[in-house]
Amino acid sequence: MRSILLVLICVLLCGTALPQSQPSAAVLRQLTQRSKFIFGGTVNSVERLASPGIPTVRITFTVDRAVRGVRAGQTFTIREWAGLWSAGPRYRPGQHVFLFLYPTSKLGLTSPVSGNLGRFDIDNDDVVLGREHLDALPNRQTSSTTRRSRLSSRDFARAIRRAAED
């Protein structure tokens, strides 16, 4: 099991993507370069704000794994444009996510870099790579099934730091 994980990390760090497996180093590098905040955390609360002007949603997280712009254990709050929520809830209390977030705008809003590409679900401390992440890989093989791959959040954070150094 450990050797399989090591091979997957090597593939991630070298930028050679296996079809339908992990995000390439190029994808991670692009997400990382455009992000001001990168972390894995737990959603504490979601609140629609009835403020004049732009309708927003306030999301509060507890940071579990800090990579950039936050500290582990910190309570971190963001605001998103409520229009992003028109297709349904984006976060729910208790949910675990790994996020790459844009710098905060002049209006105090942010969102995941490249939409859903900058957002990863976490399940049992594993980062889950969904269809949108797999579709972003070069040379992918089309599949009629929705395959999902996993990588420990610790190894994922390590790969992000390595991609940022390149």
Q: How many Å separate Cα 64 from the centre of its chain?
A: 13
Gap between the Cα atoms of 141 and 107, Å rounded: 41
Q: Which has more pLDDT, 122 or 149?
A: 122
CATH number at residue 107: 2.40.50
Q: Read off the pTM.
A: 0.77
Gap between the Cα atoms of 76 and 41, Å rounded: 9
Mean of the per-residue pLDDT values of the chain: 78
Using alpha carbons, list the distances in angstroms from residue 148 to 6, 22, 59, 93, 119: 19, 9, 26, 23, 14
Q: Using the predicted structure, report yes or no on whether residue 4 has a pLDDT greater than 80.
A: no
Domain count, the chain: 1
Confidence bin at 100 (pLDDT 50/70/90): very high
- Least confident stretch, 4-18, 64-78, 94-108, 114-128: 4-18
What residue numbers bound the domain in which 72 lies?
A: 2-165
